[in-house]
Chain A
Amino acid sequence: MDISISLTDGVTIYRQIVNQVKYLVASGLLQPGEELPPIRTLALQLKVTPNTIVKAYHELEISGVVYKRQGSGTFVSEGRQQIELRERRRIIEQRIDALLAEAHQLNFTADDILRMVRERKAAMDSETGEPADVER
């Protein structure tokens, strides 16, 4: 499972794991029914205490992203639809917040940014000769 831990941005490690698993599920990189790595394996991979992985998996279970099968392992839940929109919004909103904070420092208003986003999109579309939609 492709997860990386950063210790410089002030986000707790278990929260980073929760967020990245949610992202992997929302983006389809983890499919319903797929098994998450065992706690020990992920702890060794990330060099974090197993207790943190336990906590992250527990929270993912409570929010319905994964489920535990008795005596077996942790699996991605079916019906990812529900979390998908919320999670996709959250991921994008984080990027927007960072963009707005930077814009503010450089003296751009939110309206400036909106206009620039449209300009960039138009430029991209004309470069590729087709709408750069993510979903086709």
Chain B
Amino acid sequence: MGQIVDVNDLSRSFGDKVALDGVSFSATAGQVHGLVGANGAGKTTLLKHLIGLLRARSGSVRVFGRDPVRDPVGVLSRVGYLSEERELPEWMRVDELMRYTQAFHPTWDATYARELLESFALDPSRKVKELSKGMRAQAGLIAAVAHRPELLILDEPSSGLDAIVRRDILDAIVRAVADDGRTVIFSSHLLDEVERMSDHVTLMHQGRVTLSGALDEVRRQYQRSRVHFAENFVQPPVLETALLIEGGGRAWSVVHSGSPEKFRQSVLARGGEVVESRDATLEEIFMARAGRSRQQMEAA
């Protein structure tokens, strides 16, 4: 499979804030790559480097083997991009936006664009500035996919959208992959969406990649176990290989990685037993690797 994206040791600061810290990332043809991480983890900064909106100051970025800053035409003609802010020209009508975008893309598929407009029930004569948030996302999506790009980059595509528009977005991803074997990279804070839509996943935390790989392999490396103790613990018990412990008293839920036997022995040594074990969900892995408890996440 061909290498589509190759980012090597990329670092970036804005003032004294480190946005990316030695990030390496790659995607091969046909992959659907989910990028997850809390706000400010560096996802958007990474994606902006892929389309040449930001220049690599340290490290290298290659898309289709080219530098997106030096060769914007060679890269951008083959890429579809939906930004998180969905900045679109406000003064244009929807049909003008389509013609405007088409002008940049010789491969524009007008039939496909019209089909999408109709399925979204978007009025072509409406001004962009009059569109609701969901409609803007739909218009931005058409502009990103109608030239049938080899690489589709979506930054938080379903952020702030209702279930119906979210479904449209997911359908567009499925179609891009199923019909044309396209490569998709999308960032999302909705972990169930990432788990459904991606086969590869990269977790970012404070500007670094903390985890990256095929989803199934990542999943296999983490277990979640429920453990019961004879003793009542006020503080979470210290257990080997444990990454995240939740619960209280005699019953705790633990996300752990590495040797399950080592974990079991450690529980046994503290006078407890493992009641149930299964592979961890992506959400549990995320919580464990991001080093925060669920309560803290929800409060944030």
Mark A residues whose CB is within 8 Å of B.
Answer: 5, 7-14, 39-40, 43-44, 46-52, 55, 101, 104-105
B224 to chain A, nearest CB (A): 6
A44 touches B174 (CB 8 A): yes
B178 touches A10 (CB 8 A): no
Q: Which of B131-171 contact A (CB under 8 A)?
A: 167, 170-171
A49 touches B32 (CB 8 A): yes
Q: Which of B169-188 contact A (CB under 8 A)?
A: 170-171, 173-175, 177-179
B174 touches A40 (CB 8 A): yes
Which of B178, B215, B280, B283 contacts A50 (CB under 8 A)? B178
Interface status of B96 (Cβ within 8 A of chain A): no
A49 touches B278 (CB 8 A): no
CA distance A7 to B282 in the complex (A): 9
Of all A-B residue pairs in the complex, the 7 with the closest CB atoms, nearest first, are A40-B178, A10-B278, A50-B178, A10-B279, A49-B32, A51-B199, A48-B196
B173 touches A49 (CB 8 A): yes
Q: Which of B232-281 contact A (CB under 8 A)?
A: 275-276, 278-281
CA distance A11 to B179 in the complex (A): 27
Interface status of B195 (Cβ within 8 A of chain A): yes
CA distance A38 to B31 in the complex (A): 19
Provide the residues of chain B in CB contact with A101, threshold 8 Å. Answer: 275-276
B196 touches A5 (CB 8 A): yes
- Given contacts A49-B32, A51-B32, A105-B275, are A7 and B174 in contact (CB under 8 A)? no
Q: How many A-B residue pairs have CB under 8 A?
A: 71
Interface status of B216 (Cβ within 8 A of chain A): yes
Interface status of B78 (Cβ within 8 A of chain A): no
A43 touches B178 (CB 8 A): yes
* A-B contact list, 16 entries, CB within 8 Å: A10-B224, A10-B280, A11-B278, A12-B219, A44-B175, A47-B170, A47-B171, A47-B174, A48-B174, A48-B197, A49-B198, A50-B178, A51-B32, A51-B177, A55-B199, A105-B228
A12 touches B216 (CB 8 A): yes
A7 touches B196 (CB 8 A): yes
Provide the residues of chain A in CB contact with B219, threshold 8 Å. Answer: 10, 12
CA distance A43 to B175 in the complex (A): 9
Provide the residues of chain A in CB contact with B228, threshold 8 Å. Answer: 105
Interface status of B30 (Cβ within 8 A of chain A): yes
B177 touches A44 (CB 8 A): no
CA distance A47 to B174 in the complex (A): 8
Provide the residues of chain A in CB contact with B276, threshold 8 Å. Answer: 101
A66 to chain B, nearest CB (A): 19
- Given contacts A39-B178, A104-B275, are A47 and B197 in contact (CB under 8 A)? yes
CA distance A14 to B32 in the complex (A): 15
- Given contacts A12-B219, A47-B167, A47-B174, are A7 and B279 in contact (CB under 8 A)? no
Which of A40, A51, A55, A105 contacts B175 (CB under 8 A)? A40
Provide the residues of chain B in CB contact with A48, threshold 8 Å. Answer: 174, 196-197
Which of A8, A50, A51, A104 contacts B281 (CB under 8 A)? A8
A115 to chain B, nearest CB (A): 23
Provide the residues of chain B in CB contact with A55, threshold 8 Å. Answer: 199
Which of B170, B199, B279 contacts A11 (CB under 8 A)? B279
